[in-house]
Amino acid sequence: LARVRVGSRVVQYQQHLEHQALVDSLTGLFNRGAFERKMEEEFERAQRNHHPLSVLLFDVDKFKMVDDTYGHHWGDEVLKKIADLLKSKTRRSDYPARFGGEEFVLILPETDLENALSVEAKVHAEIKAATLGTKARSFSITVSAGVSSTCNKQYSNWQELLEDADQALYLAKSRGKDRAEAFMPEEQRKAASANHS
């Protein structure tokens, strides 16, 4: 019995270590390594079943200013707050992760571009409404986001899908921050702008 108990403790400890290796210690979200594994898995499943898959990439606006103005403690609190909102405001099948620094990523299985943008709008509003700091010195934050989806482009691998979300995020940043942009292939963008003019 003692040997069984020791054996089970060893197994539990190994599982704990494996879990720790996948989790970002500050936010409790999955880390980049875990995200990449999950992304590959979901991309292959989406391709196999011909189901949509979307990706949201978030970046905290003016994060350095938060750190410089309020201190690193509040910089950490911002990251934890966003992580909590990503966990509480998304479906159980969605997969939020900390991508690195002040960037977060959300994998949305079975989700087309339109619905991905709805998810982004909901999370965006929650983040913007959150108040941080102290009563005497409170502040709020905004994020910029890039969205890409297998619905509006054929992808040969998940890295391309992520790169397009990153391009859309860059566009959101360059267009003034605190907004989301969806990646569109060049021909779709031209058609959309032609329709508007």
Alpha helices in 50-175 (DSSP H): 63-70, 72-88, 113-129, 158-174
End-to-end alpha carbon distance in the chain: 78
Contacts of 67 (CB under 8 A, 6+ apart): 74, 75
Please state, in angstroms and rounded to a whole number, the distance separating the CA atoms of residues 11 and 145: 40
Q: What three-state secondary structure class fits 158?
A: helix
C-beta neighbour count of 15 within 10 angstroms: 10
Q: Could you tell me if 55 and 105 are in contact, meaning their C-beta atoms sit under 8 angstroms apart?
A: yes
Q: Is 102 a catalytic residue?
A: yes
Torsion, Cα 129 84 35 31, to 10 degrees, reads: 120
In sequence order, the β-bridge partners of residue 106 are 56, 96
> What DSSP state is assigned to residue 94?
-
Active-site residue, from 18, 40, 42, 102: 102
Q: Which two tokens stand for residue 111?
A: 């989700």
Q: Which residues are catalytic?
A: 102
